[in-house]
Amino acid sequence: MFRSSERNVMKDETHDYQAYMLRLWRTETRGQWQWRASLESPHTGERQSFADLEQLFAFLSERCEGQVGNKPEEGEEGQFEISSS
């Protein structure tokens, strides 16, 4: 697996709230274009890299495991935080 980490596996994030800076880019390898990705935690600065989108989705799925189906606290539904940095 291509995932690499500059620190630990982003374990400083809480289970109730997770934030990442997502970067996507394409690379050409042997005539084939491939999407690459990285996530960076704004809390720790830790960066995780992915060789393809499937690895990115698997990582996010693992991080959110156990969260699906849990009812959000009252007032949390539909709240978004937008950053323009």
What pLDDT was estimated at residue 17?
81
Q: Helices H, strands E: what count in the chain? A: 1, 4
Q: Is residue 55 part of a domain?
A: yes
For the chain, the domain total comes to 1
More confident residue, 45 or 69: 45
Model confidence pLDDT, tens digit, residues 74-84: 555 554 454 44
Write down the mean pLDDT value for the chain: 76
In which domain, by residue range, is 40 found? 4-10+18-64
Query: Does some domain include residue 40?
Result: yes
Structural domain contains residue 48 = yes
In a domain, residue 35? The reply is: yes
Residue 39 belongs to some domain of the structure: yes
Tell me whether residue 23 is in a domain: yes
Q: What is the pTM of this model?
A: 0.60
27 belongs to a structural domain: yes
What 3-state DSSP class applies to 62? Answer: helix
* Position 83 in a domain: no
More confident residue, 47 or 6: 47
Which pLDDT does position 71 carry in this prediction?
Answer: 57
Write the DSSP string, 10-40. STTS-SS----EEEEEEEEETTEEEEEEEEE
pLDDT over 80 (residue 36): yes
